[in-house]
Amino acid sequence: MPTAISPLTQASLAEAVANAARQYYCPGLSAAVYVNGETMCATAGVLNLATQEPVTPHALFQIGSVSKLVTAALVMQLVEAGKIGLDQSVSALLGGAPIGKGEFSARVTVRHLLTHMSGQDGDLFEDTGRDDDCIARNAVLCRDLDFLCAPGLHYNYCNAGYCLLGRIVETQTGVCFEEAA
């Protein structure tokens, strides 16, 4: 006979988060659970080992490359729905806007960005804010990126390429990236 699951309480969530942070050697952790119309949040640890800034329920974590999985899934849903093609020009999908300097800009495809084969120097870490237009502003900044080689020639990890893919998601769905995700 299955055992009954005890109801979740703020205290039990806080204990579970603290235990998980210890067990997995996680410097900082935040969890939120929505149950029966109520949101409970618990935190543990610090945002940054150097600053020792504590994690709070409203702290923003830098999620980095985890968002690339979500972006790729959204792009592939658009491909599956026939809204875009893997070999379609990124510049064309973005209204003809340049996505880098020089002759290669128009040749970069969705496939190139997904596989980090665009040839772009993809280190663009400009803070464009947190509002609904931040990805659009980042995409505009990409026009100043240099190309290290022709698209499709070499693998080069490209963060900026995934921002461009996020912008494609926005233009094709008509909603901000966060809402599409």
d(CA 37, CA 167): 33
Beta strands of 38-168 (E only): which ranges?
38-45
Which of 6, 12, 30, 65 is labelled catalytic?
65
3-state secondary structure of 109: strand
* Whether 65 is catalytic: yes
CA torsion sign for 117, 74, 159, 49 is negative
**Residue pair 150/107 in contact by the 8 Å Cβ criterion:** yes
User: Residue 66 has which token pair?
Assistant: 């985890």
**Residue pair 70/181 in contact by the 8 Å Cβ criterion:** yes
How many Cα atoms are found within 13 Å in the side-chain-facing hemisphere of 80? 6
**Residue pair 160/124 in contact by the 8 Å Cβ criterion:** yes
**Which are the catalytic amino acids?**
65
